[in-house]
Structure 1
Amino acid sequence: MTLEEEIAARVGEVRTDSFDLSFGEIANLHVSKELIIQPEYQRLFRWSLQQKSHLIESILLELPVPQIFVIENQDGVLELIDGLQRVSTILQFMEPGSIGMEPLTLDGCTLIYGLNGLTFSALPLSLRLRLKRSPIRTVVIKKQSQGFLRYEMFKRLNTGGANLEPQEIRNCSARMLGESGVDFYNFLVKLSEQADFAACADYLPQPDKDKKAAEELVLRFFAAKNFVDGFKGSVRDWLDNYMEDVLLGKQPFDMGAESEAFTRTMVFARQKLGETAFLRYRGESPTGSLPPAYFEAIAIGIHGNLDEIKNKSSDSLRANITKLVQSEQFRSVTGPGANSKEKLRTRIQLAATALLAAV
Structure 2
Amino acid sequence: MTTEQIESSDEDELLTRSLSREEREDLEQKNESPISVTFATQDYPIDGLVKRLEKGSMLIPQFRGNDDRVKTAGFQRGFVWSKGQMDKFIESLLLGYPIPGIFLIKQHEDNRLLILDGQQRLETLRRFYAGVHEGRVFSLSNVGEQFEGLTYNSLDESFKIKLDDSYMQATIVSADGSDEVDDAIYQIFERLNSGGTQLTPHEIRVALYAGNLMSAIERLNEDDNWRSLYGRKSKRIRDHELVMRILALYEESAKYKRPLKQFLNGYAKSHRKQNVDTLRAGHYFIDAALQIETQVGSGAFRRKGGAQVNAAQAEAVMVAVMEAASKGLVPSDLLGKITALQSDQEFIASTTKSTADNDAVQQRLAKAKEYLIDHG
- After superposition, residues 310-349 of structure 1 pair within 5 angstroms as 310-313=329-332, 316-349=333-366
Aligned counterparts, 1:1-359, within 5 A:
18-40=41-63, 41-60=75-94, 61-72=96-107, 74-97=109-132, 101-109=135-143, 114-115=146-147, 117-141=149-173, 145-159=176-190, 161=193, 162=197, 164-175=199-210, 182-201=211-230, 203=231, 206=233, 209-244=234-269, 246=271, 255-282=278-305, 287-306=306-325, 310-313=329-332, 316-356=333-373
Structure 2 gap ranges (5+): 1-32, 64-74
1:247 CA displacement: 5.1
Residue 220 of structure 1: CA displacement? 0.4
* Letter matched to residue 265 of structure 1: A
Q: CA separation in 2, counterparts of 1:256 and 1:308?
A: 17
Structure 1's 107 and 326: CA in aligned 2 closer, same or farther, altered over 3 A? Answer: farther
Query: Is the Cα contact below 8 Å between 1:228 and 1:341 reproduced in 2?
Result: no
Structure 1 residue runs of 5 or longer lacking an equivalent are: 1-6, 176-181
Contact 1:44 1:88 in 2 (8 A): no
For 2:156 and 2:291, the matched residues in 1 are separated by 64
Residue 169 of structure 1 deviates from its aligned partner by: 1.2
State whether residues 67 and 83 of structure 1, in contact with CA within 8 Å, keep that contact through their aligned partners in structure 2: yes
State the distance in 2 between where 1:93 and 1:307 align: 53
Contact 2:44/2:167 (8 A) holds in 1:
yes
- The farther-off stretch of 271-280 and 128-137 is 271-280
CA positional deviation for 1:321: 1.0
Letter paired with 2:307: G
From the superposition, tell whether residues 21 and 298 of structure 1 become closer, same or farther in structure 2 (CA, over 3 Å): same
Task: Please report the TM-score for the alignment, with normalisation by the length of structure 1.
Answer: 0.76
Contact (CA 8 Å) 1:27, 1:95: kept in 2 or not? no
User: Aligned with 1:210: secondary structure?
Assistant: coil
Provide the C-alpha distance between the structure 2 equivalents of 1:346 and 1:164, rounded to a whole number of angstroms: 30
Q: Kindly tell me the number of residue pairs found equivalent between the two proteins.
A: 325
Structure having the larger proportion of residues in helix:
1
Q: Residue 118 of structure 2 aligns to which amino acid in structure 1?
A: G
Shift of the 155–255 alpha-carbon distance from structure 1 to 2, 3 Å rule, reads farther
Question: 1:192 corresponds to which letter in structure 2?
Answer: N
The one of the two structures with greater contact order (alpha-carbon pairs below 8 A, sep at least 6) is 2
Q: Percent identity?
A: 19
Alpha carbons of 1:339 and 1:148: their partners in 2 closer, same or farther (altered >3 Å)?
closer
Q: Are 1:217 and 1:292, in contact at CA under 8 Å, matched by a contact in 2?
A: yes
Q: CA–CA distance in 2 between the matches of 1:43 and 1:262? A: 26
**TM-score, length of structure 2 as denominator length:** 0.73
- CA distance in 2 between counterparts of 1:101 and 1:156 reads 36
Question: Which residue pairs with 1:178 in the alignment?
Answer: none
Query: Secondary structure at the residue paired with 2:350?
Result: coil
Q: Distance in 2 between matches of 1:309 and 1:354?
A: 17
RMSD: 3.4
Report which of the two structures shows the higher radius of gyration computed on alpha carbons: 1
